[in-house]
Structure 1
Amino acid sequence: MCLKIVLIPILLILTIAMASDPDPLQDFCIPNPKSFPNQLCKNSTAVTADDFVFSGAKSAGPFSETGFATVAANPINFPGLNTLGMSLVRVDLKEGAINPPHVHPRAAEMVYVVQGKVYAGFVDSGNRVYAKVIEEGEVMVIPRGVVHFQMNVGKRRATVFGCFNSQNPGTQKMAAAIFGSGIKEELLEKAFGLSSKEIRRMKRMFDS
């Protein structure tokens, strides 16, 4: 347990060293909600230690029907992250559940397994897959902008933390981007060799 407590802060510190967002011009910038949408910084005398603490990742978020839950920490709900070029997500997966193929266009990610066994990996621009089962205490790095995924292959719930070198990494789920975005059915039929009936079924599944 002590190892887990020590490793997570270390991973967060490492992401600062390779931050991809612009370098800050001051020690910190806690957004002043009264200045919205300009997001000016609070006067430092109005900042408290609570601005630099996030308690939301203590427990899992609400689970979807597929057994997947996330809790994100970003400047919206964790003001201390603003301008620091980093963010965090807690992911919980019930037995057999998946985090489907997706992309973070603005950030690399370090995935740390808190508990369980997770099949994790990514696909590079040459369509080569780099994947393996990672277990409690292990870390995998996901390069920026590549398709990646996770699946719980253990016999209990798995929990992982993802650390990003951007305060706004963005997330694009591949299936939803293709079938839920309004691309013409004719193009999708030709691209994937599916019938119009199959395309319509996929669009119903992922249409937002």
Structure 2
Amino acid sequence: MAQATATTVTLLLLLFLSSASASVQDYCVADLSAADTPAGYPCKKVTKVTSADFVFAGLTMAGNTSNIIKAAVTPAFVGQFPGVNGLGISVARLDIAPGGVVPLHTHPGASELLVVTQGVIYAGFVDTANNVYVATLKKGEVMVFPQGLLHFQINAGGVTAVAIVTFSSSNPGLQITSFALFANSLPSPVVEKVTFLDDAEVKKLKKVLGGTG
């Protein structure tokens, strides 16, 4: 009886290990020629996967900060780095020139972890109870921004600040509050109503950020 029980257990264990091994997929390199979906990109055929799919060199170069916010983000999301597809991770480089700012924004699909590698960054976020959490971050210091919450980064020193930013998604998404309000075609009277700003201020901001209406 004991022998039969041991044999049964062994067979069940072998069956479990066999089925588990068969169901595991090591990776799903994105097939960027196909359409993206809420579940991510479909997988590239394994026979077409190369080492280059798992390497991204774009973060070695500084971003172009000659813009209205004096800041640049160089992403290594799934669209630039197909090897992260389906892995729940991605990374980016943040460059903020003196006087620069990354305005209030959210990442609907991911939490963010920021590591300062150069300069000083004043950063913070606002939770859903409108509590504010801010810190002045120096080289080597880290701050986390929970998924979906409004947050910002400002250069707080006299030199360009640089940070490496990681995300808990291969495609974290981005919505910048100022651009969402003033860089689109939403009619000015509507923007005035939802922001409590007067007509002159709304039209001024729309002009600066490229909005219409």
Q: Scaled by the length of structure 1, what TM-score is found?
A: 0.81
Structure 2 CA distance, aligned partners of 1:175 and 1:84?
31
Structure 1 CA distance, aligned partners of 2:172 and 2:207?
27
Unaligned runs of 5+ in 1: 1-23
- Alpha-carbon contact 1:92-1:159 (below 8 Å) kept: yes
SS state at 1:194 partner: coil
Could you say which structure has the larger radius of gyration?
A: 2
Give the residue type in structure 1 aligned to 2:97. K
Structure 2 CA distance, aligned partners of 1:47 and 1:205?
44
Structure 1 CA distance, aligned partners of 2:35 and 2:195?
42
Unaligned runs of 5+ in 2: 1-22
- Alpha-carbon contact 2:71-2:97 (below 8 Å) kept: yes
Give the residue type in structure 2 aligned to 1:185. S
* 2:154 corresponds to 1:155: no
Structure 1 CA distance, aligned partners of 2:149 and 2:30?
31
Cα 1:193–1:43 shift into 2, 3 Å: closer
> Is 25-34 or 145-154 further displaced after alignment?
25-34
Out of 33, 50, 53, the residue aligned to residue 48 of structure 1 is 50
Give the residue type in structure 2 aligned to 1:27. D
Structure 2 CA distance, aligned partners of 1:103 and 1:37?
24
Percentage of pairs with the same residue: 39
Cα 1:119–1:41 shift into 2, 3 Å: same
- Alpha-carbon contact 1:60-1:70 (below 8 Å) kept: no
User: Segments of 4+ in structure 1 off by > 4 A?
Assistant: none
In the alignment, what sits opposite 1:4? none
* 2:69 corresponds to 1:70: no
Structure 2 CA distance, aligned partners of 1:148 and 1:97?
15
Structure 2 CA distance, aligned partners of 1:49 and 1:202?
46
- Alpha-carbon contact 2:95-2:162 (below 8 Å) kept: yes
Query: Across the two proteins, how many residue pairs are aligned to each other?
Result: 184
Q: Scaled by the length of structure 2, what TM-score is found?
A: 0.79
SS state at 2:144 partner: strand
SS state at 2:64 partner: coil
Give the residue type in structure 2 aligned to 1:28. Y
- Alpha-carbon contact 2:32-2:82 (below 8 Å) kept: no
In the alignment, what sits opposite 2:92? 89
Out of 145, 150, 170, the residue aligned to residue 148 of structure 2 is 145
- Measured on the aligned residues, the alpha-carbon RMSD in Å equals 2.0
Structure 1 CA distance, aligned partners of 2:121 and 2:50?
38
Measured after TM superposition, the shift of residue 178 of structure 1 is 1.3
In the alignment, what sits opposite 1:58? 60
Measured after TM superposition, the shift of residue 200 of structure 1 is 1.1
